[in-house]
Amino acid sequence: MSDAKRLIVPIVGKVSPRERAELLQQRPVTIWLTGLSASGKSTLATELERRLVDARRPCYLLDGDNIRTGISRDLGFGPEDRHENIRRIAEVARLMNEAGLVAITAFISPYRADRAMARSVVGAERFIEVHVAAPLEVCEKRDPKGFYAKARRGEIAEFTGVSAPYEAPGAADLVIETAQASVESCVQRLFDAVMSKIRAA
C-alpha cells in the first residue's frame, strides 16, 4: 500500500442510507439498461425517468453519451477503458442509491464481467439488470446516429456488434424486446417492474 493510500480514511456520516430511504419513501435501486447501440436503451431510460418523476419518485438518469462528455471524457473504447467507464458509473450509481435516489443507467456495457462488477459495486440487492434486446439487423436499420454505417466502412474502430463483441446477459432480471413491441408497452413493463422494487415497505 502506498503512503498516499494510507492517508485515506472514509468518514461515516450521521445520516444512514436507511434514513434517507425512509425520508424519500422508496427503496433506492439501480436500473442497469444494457444492449446494443440503437436497441432502445436511452429511449426507455428517458421515458422511465419521466414516469418516475411524475409518480413523485426521486431518480436520476446516467446516460452513456452524457457520461462520456464528462466524468469519462478521458477514456477510449478499448476493453480496459470500457471496464473503467463501467466502474466509474457503478460507483456514481452506488452513491446515488446511498442518497436515497433511484439511479437509471443506459450503457451498452457489452461485457458480462463488467456488468457483474457493476452489480458488486452497487450491491446485488439494489441492482436490476435489464437487457434491452433487439437483433443486430434491427439496430443497424434504426442507426439514428449513423454509427453502424461508419463502423461498417471502417471509420469507427471497436464498435460493439460490428468490430467488438456484445455479450448478452445470460440471466437478466428483466428482458425487454424492442423490435416488435411499442415504446409505450416497453416503458410500461419497465415502470411496473421498477415500482414493484422501490415501493417503501
CATH number for the domain spanning 194: value is 3.40.50.300
Number of domains observed in the structure of the chain:
1
What's the pLDDT at 201?
47
The 10s digit of each residue's pLDDT in 90-132 is 999 999 999 999 999 999 999 999 999 999 999 999 999 999 9
Whether residue 39 lies in the annotated active site: no
In a domain, 20, yes or no: no
Neighbours of 67 (CB within 10 A): 20
Ranges of residues in the chain with a pLDDT under 50 are 201
**Catalytic, out of 2, 16, 109, 163:** 109
| Residues near 143 by beta carbon (within 8 Å), at least 6 away in sequence | 38, 149
- pLDDT at res. 1: 54
What is residue 199's predicted lDDT score, i.e. its pLDDT?
Answer: 83
Closest CA to 188 of 176, 171, 173: 176
Distance linking the first and last C-alpha atoms of the chain: 42
Question: Structural domain of residue 69, as residue ranges?
Answer: 30-198
Query: 7 lies in a domain?
Result: no
* pLDDT score, position 200: 60
CB 110 within 8 A of CB 82: yes
